[in-house]
Amino acid sequence: MRLDGEVVPLGDTFVHALSVTTPESRVRSLMLTIPHTHVLAGHAAAWVHGCAALPRMLDVLVRAHVRPVRRTDPRLRIRREDLHIDDDTMWIGGMRVLTREKTAAALLAGSACDADDEWAARLLMAERCSADRP
């Protein structure tokens, strides 16, 4: 049961309306959706860092030598990529997420790069993302 005004959606979960969201709480809200062997990327990684809204499609990467886990969630867009795991990713809340720099580069390199992507990339590089952005 959800009481209006008491809780607000955060990823796949709900949190108290007055709670401060952090990168860790954002990651935890997606842990049932994204396998632990995968890396959160793209707009979803920008959301975790607090620099973008949660996208409808969740970009996740699978390292070239790791077998992808099958998930039935249609929101997952899984790609294989050769990552330097120590340089390109970081642990946040029990899951690997692309670093701010790698996320910014990926957003700008995308074929559909728009003004929102450029803005998110600037925020990521300036480290001015809001820690309490829902």
pLDDT at 108: 84
| Tens digit of each residue's pLDDT (9 = 90 or more) over 74-86 | 888 888 888 888 8
The domain ranges of the chain are 7-64+72-126
pLDDT at 45: 93
Q: Which two three-digit tokens encode residue 91?
A: 């642990």
- Confidence bin at 134 (pLDDT 50/70/90): very low
Best CA proximity match to 81, nearest among 49, 100, 106, 50 = 106
Q: Which two three-digit tokens encode residue 124?
A: 């990521």
55: exposed, middle or buried (C-beta count within 10 Å: 0-12, 13-18, 19+)?
middle
Whole-angstrom distance, CA of residue 72 vs CA of residue 53: 23
Best CA proximity match to 97, nearest among 53, 55, 58 = 58
- Phi and psi dihedrals of 65, rounded to 5? -95, 5
| Tens digit of each residue's pLDDT (9 = 90 or more) over 24-76 | 999 999 988 888 888 999 999 999 998 888 999 999 998 877 776 776 678 88
pLDDT at 132: 44
Q: Which two three-digit tokens encode residue 40?
A: 């959160």
Instruction: Indicate if the pLDDT at residue 131 is higher than 60.
Output: no
